[in-house]
Amino acid sequence: MYYHRLGKIPPKRHTQFRQPDGSLYKEELVSSEGFSGIYSNLYHIHPPTRIKAADDPIAFGPKRIEDYSLRHIHLNTSNVTATGDDYLSARKVLLMNNDCSISICSPRKRTMDYFYKNAEGDEVLFIHDGKGTLTSQFGKLDVRQGDYIVIPRTVIYKIEFEAGPLRVLIIEAASPVETVKRYRNQLGQLLDSPYCERDIRPPHELVTDTSKGEFLIKIKKQGYLHPYRYDHSPLDLVGWDGFLWPYAFSIHDFEPITGRVHQPPPTHQTFQGRNFVICSFVPRLFDYHPLAIPAPYNHSNIDSDEVLYYAEGNFMSRRGIERGSFTLHPGGIPHGPHPGTVEKSIGAKETHELAVMIDTFHPLWPTTDALEFIDPKYPMSWTDQAEGFNEVNTP
């Protein structure tokens, strides 16, 4: 993201940095893409390599359905209040390919008695409902409704949520999740884009836990959770600096780009990963050409699958699409506005919708966990005109 630091660090990298008892702090370089991507230097009280035990792995992962037929999919998760017991067991991966997976997570337990580390993927949490605190080796980060929380792989963390409704959309990426390249200048600074560095919230308070005991870290890698036990807290840092750290960006801080005619989805792009993008559809003025049609045109995805997660807005007047619905419009077949909605959209001045879109450049598979949410009527919903569809906004 950009350079940031918290706590104490020595003036020079890779030099002697001593604790009050005269022993050295233990430096750890956390780097992405080998040594070529962004990185941070962490300074531990204890060696990060010193473990007490590495227990047997536990299978953890979705089962994809490879022979699901080519059709539009609507997953209605609106009635779900809890998807499982805790932060990990409540993760239900619904759609996936080799580049990313898309999950919902509504845990009953609001605290974690272990730490979690995703060793193979960056995670983006979209906080649809909920509020709390993410505590990682990089410090405390406030978690608010509407936040995207971007957590680079290998960050050790736990999240505590407050009581109340809790619904999290999780996008896990096999590649680094980054701000959009065309939004940045050659040195990485965000230009006149829909958001800038001021909208990014870094960890704000370092936690230095010197306690000893038994600390469990569940490490996700290659379809398993690997339980590691340490005899010291993993939050034993006295300082860190660098570009690699978890951060928050609120969807409410995304400034929409509008125009005289319908703006294409890339104007809504928020993040990029390898072979996928994440876009934010936020409240905005509609197109202002005198003959503008606010409803989107029919659209054939030549080389992408398009997932929309409906967070807030007037899509609720559309049959079946509710707050918490997902739609997948796969590449290879066209999708577009429902019957009657194009004429109905003419003259509309603004939309209050809030939605997250994930476009993938390789096909997605539904998982066995998605089956219970599938709306069987959706693939025919452009043909059946009897029900009076009323969707105008989504792409």
d(Cα 106, Cα 124) in Å, to the nearest integer?
Answer: 15
Token code pair at residue 269: 């792009």
Closest distance of CB 119 from Fe ion, Å: 34
25 closest CA partner among 36, 39, 33, 14: 14
Q: Which amino acid is at 195?
A: Y
357-376 residues in contact with Fe ion (CB under 5 A) are none
Question: Of residues 223-262, which lie at the interface with Fe ion (CB under 5 A)?
Answer: none
If the CB atoms of residues 236 and 306 are measured against Fe ion, the closer one turns out to be 306
User: Please, what is the minimum distance in Å from the beta carbon of residue 395 to Fe ion?
Assistant: 4
Query: Of 232, 245, 213, 242, which is closest to residue 48 (Cα–Cα)?
Result: 232
* Nearer of residues 64 and 335 to Fe ion, judged by Cβ: 335
User: Minimum CB separation from Fe ion for residue 101, in Å?
Assistant: 21
Q: Which residue is nearest to Fe ion (CB)?
A: 299
Q: How far is the CB of 105 from Fe ion (least distance, A)?
A: 26
Closest CA relative to residue 243, chosen from 33, 81, 70, 19: 33
Per the DSSP assignment, residues forming a β-bridge with 59 are 224
3-state secondary structure of 378: helix
Q: Tell me the closest approach of the beta carbon of residue 260 to Fe ion, in angstroms.
A: 20
Rounded to 5°, the CA angle 3-282-165 comes to 85
x-marked contacts with Fe ion along 275-314 as a string, rule CB under 5 A: ------------------------x------x--------
Q: How far apart are the C-alpha atoms of 122 and 88, rounded to whole Å?
A: 15
Nearer to Fe ion, 107 or 395 (CB): 395
Is residue 107 close enough to count as binding Fe ion by CB under 5 A?
A: no
Q: Tell me how far apart the alpha carbons of residues 171 and 370 are, in angstroms, rounded to a whole number.
A: 15
Cβ closer to Fe ion: 239 or 330?
330
Specify the residue, 231 or 303, whose C-beta has the smaller distance to Fe ion: 303
Alpha-carbon distance of 306 to 73, in angstroms, equals: 10
Q: Does 395 bind Fe ion (CB under 5 A)?
A: yes
Under the binding rule (CB under 5 A), the answer on residue 337 touching Fe ion is no
Min. distance of Cβ 264 from Fe ion in angstroms? Answer: 9
Q: Which residue, 123 or 305, has its beta carbon nearer to Fe ion? A: 305
CA distance 168 to 147: 10
Alpha helices in the chain (DSSP H): 341-345
Count of CA atoms in the C-beta half-sphere (13 A) of 96: 21
Report the distance separating Cα 199 and Cα 302, nearest Å.
Answer: 34
Cα separation, 137 vs 155, whole angstroms: 7
Between 60 and 361, CB nearer to Fe ion: 361
Residues in binding contact with Fe ion, number by CB under 5 A:
3
- What is the closest distance, in whole angstroms, from the C-beta atom of residue 357 to Fe ion in the complex? 9
Place of tokens 């906080």: 127
- Considering the complex, what minimum distance in angstroms separates the CB of residue 349 from Fe ion? 23
User: Considering beta carbons, is residue 272 or 327 the nearer one to Fe ion?
Assistant: 327
Residue ranges binding Fe ion (CB under 5 A): 299, 306, 395
